[in-house]
């Protein structure tokens, strides 16, 4: 979902075409964001529709389906009393995506929300924002697993889970190597591990800037916004 939000900003905010997006994500896949999802995004953005010759992203039906795993995760998180707002926002975004008729009626009645963003896209800032959002999403997911382990008496080895996810999983990512090492230290939350606290110190301001610009100009970024709000709540002792 966060990848889709960045794509939306590039397309609707900065007027980028699919090839430009593909090239950018291919570059990002050589750095900290290296992952299956970033890699496949670059391939999908480069794909062409066989009939029209247009970029596939420009002609594909814009209604997301889902298998239910996200919904189950959100339901279980509520049972556990563990906040996973990034995942909740992603599920809600899929539901809104599926409601095409409602979106068409909304744009017809109120006009399109999104406006062009000023200047050229700061791709380094967008990359840092996505890094921060990704860390915060993983942090919420691991926190949920930790809570489940405590409540249900399950011996869930968090570092080993991170290692399992490194291969053969849709969320596999190079960053999971660092996460596995960090979780060996058994931090109260992934964001408190030294490596990821350092990551966030260098990327959270970019996340705030990207979210702020998006909201000010009518671009929906629900998961990025949810990650930032969770991080801000985490930093309020009272």
> In this predicted structure, what is the pLDDT of residue 111?
94
- pLDDT score at 69: 86
- Predicted pLDDT of residue 62: 86
Residue with tokens 């380094």: 124
Q: What is the pTM of this model?
A: 0.94
Instruction: DSSP letter for 155, please.
Output: -
What is the reported pLDDT for 65? Answer: 80
* Of the options 3.10.28.10, 3.20.20.70, 3.90.1720.10, 1.10.1040.10, the CATH number for the domain spanning 2-57+67-112+122-234: 1.10.1040.10
One digit per residue, the tens of pLDDT, for the chain of length 238 reads 999 999 999 999 999 999 999 999 999 999 999 999 999 999 999 999 999 999 998 888 888 888 888 899 999 999 999 999 999 999 999 999 999 999 999 999 999 998 999 888 999 999 999 999 999 999 999 999 999 999 999 999 999 999 998 877 888 899 999 999 999 999 999 999 999 999 999 999 999 999 999 999 999 999 999 999 999 999 999 9
Of 196, 178, 189, the closest CA to residue 142 belongs to 189
Between CA 76 and CA 188 the distance in angstroms is: 20
Give the DSSP letter string of 40-80. Answer: HHHHHHH-B-TTT-SBHHHHS-------SHHHHHHHHHHHH
Helix (H, G, I), strand (E, B) or coil at 35: strand
> What are the domain boundaries of the chain?
2-57+67-112+122-234
Q: Tokens 């990025």 map to which residue?
A: 224
Beta bridge partners of residue 48, listed in sequence order: 55
């Amino acid at each position: 979902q966060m990848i889709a939000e960045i794509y939306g900003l590039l397309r609707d905010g900065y007027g980028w075409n699919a090839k430009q997006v593909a090239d950018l994500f291919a570059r990002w896949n050589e750095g900290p964001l290296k992952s299956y999802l970033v890699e496949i995004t670059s391939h999908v953005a480069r794909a062409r529709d066989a009939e029209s010759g247009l970029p596939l992203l420009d002609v594909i039906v814009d209604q997301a389906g889902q298998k239910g795993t996200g919904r189950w995760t959100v339901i279980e998180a509520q049972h556990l009393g563990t906040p996973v707002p990034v995942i909740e926002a992603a599920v809600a975004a899929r539901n809104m995506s599926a409601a095409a008729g409602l979106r068409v009626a909304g744009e017809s009645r109120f006009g399109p929300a999104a406006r062009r963003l000023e200047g050229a896209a700061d791709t380094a800032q967008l990359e840092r924002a996505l890094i921060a959002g990704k860390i915060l999403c993983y942090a919420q997911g691991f926190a949920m697993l930790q809570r489940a382990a405590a409540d249900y008496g399950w011996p869930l080895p968090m570092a080993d889970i991170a290692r399992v996810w490194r291969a053969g999983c849709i969320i596999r990512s190079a960053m999971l190597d660092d996460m596995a090492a960090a979780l060996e230290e058994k931090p109260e939350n992934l964001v408190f591990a030294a490596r990821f606290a350092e990551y966030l110190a260098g990327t959270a301001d970019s996340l705030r800037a990207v979210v702020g610009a998006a909201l000010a100009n009518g671009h929906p970024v629900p998961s990025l916004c949810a990650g930032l709000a969770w991080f801000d709540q985490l930093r309020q002792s009272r």
